[in-house]
Chains A and B, each alone.
Chain A
Amino acid sequence: SQTIHQWPATLVQPVGSPLSLECTVEGTSNPNLYWYRQAAGRGLQLLFYSVGIGQISSEVPQNLSASRPQDRQFILSSKKLLLSDSGFYLCAGGGGAAYEQYFGPGTRLTVT
Chain B
Amino acid sequence: AQSVTQPDIHITVSEGASLELRCNYSYGATPYLFWYVQSPGQGLQLLLKYFSGDTLVQGIKGFEAEFKRSQSSFNLRKPSVHWSDAAEYFCAVGDNYGQNFVFGPGTRLSVLP
Contact = CB atoms under 8 A, between A and B. Distances in A.
Interface stretch (B19-27, B39-47, B61-69, B77-85): B39-47
A101 B46 CA distance: 8
A49 B106 contact: no
Contact of B98 (A46, A95, A102, A106): A95
Contacts, number: 52
B104 A43 contact: yes
B90 interface: yes
Nearest to B4: A43
Interface of A: 4, 32, 34, 42-44, 46, 49, 51, 88, 90, 92, 94-96, 98-106, 108
Contact of B43 (A43, A96, A98, A103): A103
A16 B105 CA distance: 30
Interface in B27-69: 32, 34, 36, 41-46, 49, 51
